[in-house]
Amino acid sequence: MPFNRSSDDSSKHDCRASERKIKSIYGAGGKMSFEKHITKRKKVPFLSFVLLGILIMGCVFAPFFCKDASYMDLMNCSRAPGREFFFGTDTMGRDLFSCIWHGGRVSLTIGFLSAAISAVIAVLYGTASALSPAWLDRLLMRLVDVLLSVPSLLLVLFVQAVFGKNIIGMSAAIGLCGWFSMAKIVRTQAKTVKESGFVTASQCMGGGFFHVLYWHLAPNFLPSILFMIIMSVRTAIAEESTLSFLGLGLPIETISWGSMLALAQNAFVMRAWWMILIPGLFLILLFYASPR
C-alpha cells in the first residue's frame, strides 16, 4: 500500500509539472492554447495535400480545360492578364494560363520519372552494399561519398550531354544523379533488417538476392523509400527549373515551368511582370505543398 501511494504521488507530481510547462509555453490559456496549437499544426499538412492535389489534377486534366499551349498569337504578344487571357501572354503570344498547366505536366513528368529511376538504383545499390562483405560495403559507401561531394547540377549537365536536351534525357540525367542519399538510407535500413534471423534463414535455405530483397528487405524500408521518392520529385523539378532558367535544360519550345522562367528573364525590363511572377508562384506553391 505505501508503494502504491508513492506511485500515485509521483504521477500527480509529473502531471502538475507538465501543466506548469504547458502554461509557461502557451500562456494563461494553458491546456486550451496547447490544444489549439496542436489542432493548428494538424491542419497544415491537410491544406498542403489539398493544394498539391489541385496542382497535380490541374496538370493531369489540362487538355480538357486549356487551349493549345503551343499556339502563338503574334497579334497578342506580351498581353497583361485580363478577361481574354487570365494569366496574360508571353513574348511569343502564347496563353500563359495554358502554358502553366501544360508546362506543369512536363515538369511533373520529369519529376516522377527521375524519382522512379533514382529509387530503383538506390534500392538495388543500397541492398547490394548491405548484403556484401564488410570490405566491399565500405568501398561502395566511399564511392557514394565521393559522388555526393560533386555538385549535383554539374553531374546532371555531364549526363545530359549524353542523353540530349529532351524530356526523357532530362529525366534520365536527374535520375542517374539523384540516388546517392537514398542509397545510404536503404543500406542503413537493410543492415538493420539483415541482423534479423529470418533474413539469415532465408539465405541458408537458398534465397537469392532478389528473393531476400522482395520478400524480406523491401517491406521494411518501403515507407522510407516512398517519402524519399516524394522528396526526389520536388528536387528534380527544382533542378529542371534551374537548368532551364540558365538556358542549360529543356529548349524554350518545350513548355515547362523552367523554360517559361527562362523566356521571362527580361520580363521586368519589358514591364511584363506576369511572365516571371506566375510561373515562379506556381513553383513556390508546389514546393510549399510537397511534404518536407
230-273 residue pLDDT tens? 889 989 999 998 888 888 888 878 889 988 888 877 777 778 88
Query: Which residues partner with 89 through β-bridges?
Result: 95
Provide the β-strand partners of residue 95: 89
Is 108 inside any structural domain? yes
Q: What is the predicted pLDDT for the residue at 23?
A: 52
**Which triple of cell numbers denotes residue 83?**
478577361
With respect to residue 252, please indicate whether it lies within any of the assigned structural domains.
yes
Q: Cell numbers of 74, please? A: 503574334
157 found inside a domain: yes
pTM for the predicted model, two decimal places: 0.77
For residue 26, the model assigns a pLDDT of 47
The answer to the question of residue 48 being in a domain is: no
Is residue 40 included in any domain, yes or no? no
pLDDT score recorded for residue 194: 77
The C-alpha cell at 73 is 498569337
Q: Give the pLDDT score at 292.
A: 64
Half-sphere exposure of 283 (CA within 13 A, CB side): 23
Is 49 domain-assigned? no
Phi, psi of 80 (to 5 degrees): -75, 160
Question: What pLDDT shows up at residue 16?
Answer: 59
Q: Which domain holds residue 282?
A: 60-75+87-289
CATH assignment at residue 115:
1.10.3720.10
pLDDT tens-place string over residues 50-59: 888 899 999 9
In a domain, 207, yes or no: yes
Question: Mean pLDDT per 10-residue run, the chain (292 residues)?
Answer: 48 56 50 47 66 90 88 87 89 91 93 94 91 91 93 88 88 92 90 75 73 77 84 90 86 86 77 88 88 66
**Does 34 map to a domain?**
no
Name the nearest CA neighbour of 258 among 249, 267, 271, 269.
249
Q: Which of 189, 181, 178 is nearest to 223 (CA)?
A: 189
Structural domain total, the chain: 1
Let me know if 271 is exposed, middle or buried by CB neighbors in 10 A (0-12, 13-18, 19+). exposed
